[in-house]
Amino acid sequence: MVGNPMKPLLLLLAATSVFCLPANSKAEKFTVKKIDGGLEVSKDGKLLTQYLTKSGAKPVLWPLIGPHGNEITRAYPMRDAGENERNDHIHHRSFWFTHGNVNGVDFWAETEGHGNILHKGFTKVKDGNTATIESKNDWVDAKGNKVCEDVRRLTFGADSDAYWIDFDTTVTASEGELVFGDTKEGSFGVRVAGTMKVTANMGGAIVNQQGDKDLQAWGKASPWVDYVGPVKGNTVGIAIMNHPTSFRYPTYWHVRTYGLFTANPFGLHHFKNSNDIDGSHKMAKGETMTLRYRVYVHKGDTEAADIAAQFKAYQSVEK
């Protein structure tokens, strides 16, 4: 579809969708194409990930393919559990953004009465040396009442040894006063492959910018955290970086040794173990909140990938 000048430049997936798919040269690194249930992103002709508009209660990316061609996020529950994976936390779906308390509605867990994030359409899809996917989403309660909305933009980039996904989302209090409550159950992140998790005892490790490791990294504020471990005999890592212009930078981290890895700027009373602290955030009708992260997928450990230098490069990106 992409790279052939004889084919259409526009692809409409929905009435509200606008696509800009250039057909210019074979030098393009990224291609994006329509699939059942969403979009497929390839890099140099090989699958990188799929944007699934609905998995459980929300849009997700799955699978996320690592630098050696293997899946580096958990397969369950989209597929049977893979190597060293557990069939737990059905709501931990590879790569996602939700929150556990939004006006009292739980968008995090997939338990009775949970909320849903409904894909309303793609507003931009572009491929080439970088790729962009932009979508609109409504957050609704269990009865279908709209709570708020978001626009999320995913920008894919790469160099010779790594690739990254910039995830920028703006939440709007479209329906009235909006409160993102103080809970550890949130918000943006991934569930790493089973062999990467620290508790697999296969060499997995967590480290943040300050040097806190494994269990000590949970609940700490930091500009970045890297989760490293083996997949099919190769050491790989997923670093999540928080842009300085993001809401409440530097974010706190709900990162667990069993493989959960999320950035959460709201769960302060959990993270600081004090009921005297309230990390909730209230917005009046029409107000917005923007969160910005880079998911950096790399070979080797934190030092080999020079994550500190990679973060410096990311923080210099204008937003």
Domains and CATH numbers, the chain: 30-315 (2.70.98)
Residue 244's SS3 state is coil
In eight-state DSSP terms, residue 198 is: G
- DSSP 8-state code for residue 115: -
User: Of all residues in the chain, what percent are helix, strand and coil, respectively (each to 5)?
Assistant: 10, 45, 50
DSSP state of 160: S
Distance CA 262, CA 264 (A): 6
Helix (H) or strand (E) holding 269: helix 268-271
pLDDT digits (tens, 9 = 90+) for 31-63: 999 999 999 999 999 999 999 999 999 999 999
pLDDT < 70 positions in the chain: 1-28
Residue length of the chain:
319
Region of 146 please: left (phi>0), alpha (psi -120 to 50) or beta.
beta
pLDDT value for 28:
57
pLDDT, one tens digit per residue, over 150-174 is: 999 999 999 988 999 999 999 999 9
Q: pLDDT value at position 12?
A: 36
Handedness of CA 72, 3, 124, 132 (dihedral sign): positive
pLDDT of residue 319: 86
Q: What is the Cβ-side half-sphere exposure of residue 81, based on CA atoms within 13 angstroms?
A: 12
Question: Sheet holding 205-208: strands in order across?
Answer: 116-126, 131-140, 146-158, 162-172, 288-299, 234-242, 224-231, 205-208
> Rounded distance, CA 202 to CA 214, Å?
14
Distance, in Å, from the CA atom of 25 to the CA atom of 2, rounded to the nearest integer, reads 9
Amino acid (1-letter code) at residue 269: H
Number of neighbouring beta carbons within 10 Å of residue 170: 15
CA gap 215, 213 in Å, rounded: 6
